[in-house]
Amino acid sequence: MASSSDVNPSAGNNPGNPESGSVPEVPEASAASARRGRVRGRRAAIMAVPAAAVAAGLAILTAEGALGVQFAISGMPFTVTATELNGTGFEQFGGLDQMAPGSPNEGDTGGQVLVITSAIKNATLTKLCQSVDLGGTNLVITAGGGKDKVTASDLTTDSTELSGNAAFNNIEIGNDASTLTKAGVKGPIGVFSQQADTVYIGDLRQTNYATTAGVFKLPGLKLGFGSKGC
Amino acid sequence: MSGAPQQGMRSAFRRWRAARPFWGGLLLALGGAEILLSVRASLKVILHVGMQGLAGYLLPTLMLVLGLLIIFSPAQRLFYSITGVMLSLGTWVTSNLGGFFVGLMLGVAGSCMAFGWLPDQEPRRSRRQRRREAREAKAAHPVPPGPEPA
């Protein structure tokens, strides 16, 4: 591959020797239009084979839960379900998400969506299922179905719907959202909020509207398209 | 592929495309764009998460830039494509599993095509035809003017 790396296709630096240099910039020459640059299969394979190996390695490491991956989804509503969520450091406060002016999704909401922001410092989820509606088909990610659970850190979600059977430990209700301390996220001043040392939610179901950000470890990862969401 | 010079935009574009790894660069840029679309998190959240959240934006943006650079500055395609494949693989960790795998595959395929691209190649021929010509060439002279080693 070193033999060709010195060939400069755009410069056309040796016009006197069309046999060794490449002069495709000369449009009149009949040889120029016949001799085109193209992809050599074996040369591409030099990179494709290790790249595919690394991609497979990343997928395997993620599926084993050794490698955390980061999610930051927005713009599309997506659903998260889990049979069980255990978390330490929990905060929740209300907020208003403002849509872009004139957004077609406005409807009768006046461009504002009331969302609940939940932040969990460290969370363990059993049988996580996450689906995004792509219009007609759903992208479904499932993980944590085996003995290893999904773990997530700095999980922050803006949701419009949140259901489940919740139990809190050491809960403080009615704090000002700007004084929260448990999960390291601060809300806007003057907004109702609550926080707790630990949280347990059974049969969690969340419709997230705006964003989530956090590092997930997803043992037993499955990624696929399906007609049905979570 | 005809020898006669053709007039018009199409043939000019064709010639321009022939001088650079066009499809590889385009795929890499498209992969970066797809991942950017899938991320779209609000900047406030990104800043809260910190460097790791910023990387979710940075990697696909760089993929987009590298894809365009491959098209417009093809002489540097080896560096661009090697960097591009690394960034594409990195988005698995930083940006929604590489834009839910789609953008990652586009980026890796594009980088590999840009890496494997060579200027000034013979017109494409079928494998059988190549073999027959190689045989004839061998019969003519003992040392064949073999194709460029890949």
User: Would the CB atoms of A43 and B104 count as touching at under 8 Å?
Assistant: no
In chain A, residues with a C-beta closer than 8 Å to the C-beta of B5 are 27-28, 30, 33
Query: Which residues in chain B have their CB less than 8 angstroms from residue A55's CB?
Result: 89, 92, 104, 108
pLDDT in tens, A164-205: 888 888 888 888 878 888 877 777 777 788 888 998 988 988
Q: What is the pLDDT of residues B72-116, one digit of tens each?
A: 999 999 999 999 999 999 998 888 788 878 899 999 999 999 999
Confidence of residue A48 (pLDDT cuts 50, 70, 90): very high
The helix or strand, by DSSP H or E, that contains position A186, with its residue range, turns out to be none
- State the pLDDT confidence band at B149, using cuts at 50, 70 and 90: low
Distance CA B128, CA A112 (A): 65
Looking at beta carbons, which residues of chain A come within 8 Å of B21?
37, 39
Chain B within 8 Å of A4 (Cβ-Cβ)? yes
Question: How high is the pLDDT of residue B22?
Answer: 92
* DSSP-assigned beta bridge partners for residue A95: A115
> Residue with structure tokens 């498209």?
B30
The Cβ of residue B150 has, within 10 Å, a number of other Cβ atoms equal to: 14
Mutate to test the interface with A, among B79, B92, B102, B105 (most CBs of A within 10 A): B92
A63-88 pLDDT, tens digit per residue, is: 887 787 877 666 567 788 889 889 89
Helix or strand holding residue B71 (H, E): helix B51-72
Shortest CA distance from A53: residue in chain B? B89
| CB-based contact A59:A72 (threshold 8 Å) | no
Q: What is the mean pLDDT of chain B?
A: 81
Which residues does chain A have within 8 Å of residue B78's beta carbon, measured at their own beta carbons?
5
Inter-chain contacts counted by CB atoms under 8 A, chains A and B: 191
Range among B1-10, B62-71, B112-121 with highest mean pLDDT value: B62-71
Q: Judge: A37–B18 Cβ closer than 8 Å, yes or no.
A: yes
For chain A, give every domain's residue range: 68-226
- A156 touching B (Cβ < 8 Å): yes
Determine the Cα–Cα distance for residues B55 and A58; give it in Å rounded to an integer.
Answer: 17
| Amino acid at site A127 | K
What pLDDT score does B71 carry?
A: 94
B112, B124, B125, B130, best to mutate vs chain A, most A CBs in 10 Å:
B112
Query: What per-residue confidence (pLDDT) applies to B52?
Result: 60
Between chains, do A37 and B52 touch, taking CB under 8 Å as contact?
A: no
Mean pLDDT, range B123-144, rounded to an integer: 75
Q: Does A10 touch chain B (CB under 8 A)?
A: yes
**Given a cut of 50, is residue A10 above it in pLDDT?**
no
Per-residue pLDDT, averaged over B121-130, amounts to 76
- Give the gap in angstroms from C-alpha A59 to the nearest C-alpha of chain B: 8
Helices B77-94 & A41-63, crossing angle to 10 degrees?
20
Taking an 8 Å cut-off on Cβ atoms, the answer to whether B118 and A51 are in contact is no
For residue B74, which amino acid is it? P
Confidence bin at B63 (pLDDT 50/70/90): very high
Higher-confidence position of A225 and A106 = A225
Considering chain B, what percentage of its residues have pLDDT values greater than 70? 79
Q: What is the mean pLDDT of residues A102-130?
A: 74
Query: Cβ contacts (< 8 Å) between A5 and chain B: which residues?
Result: 78
Strand partners, A151: A124, A217
Q: Where are the domains of chain B?
A: 14-118
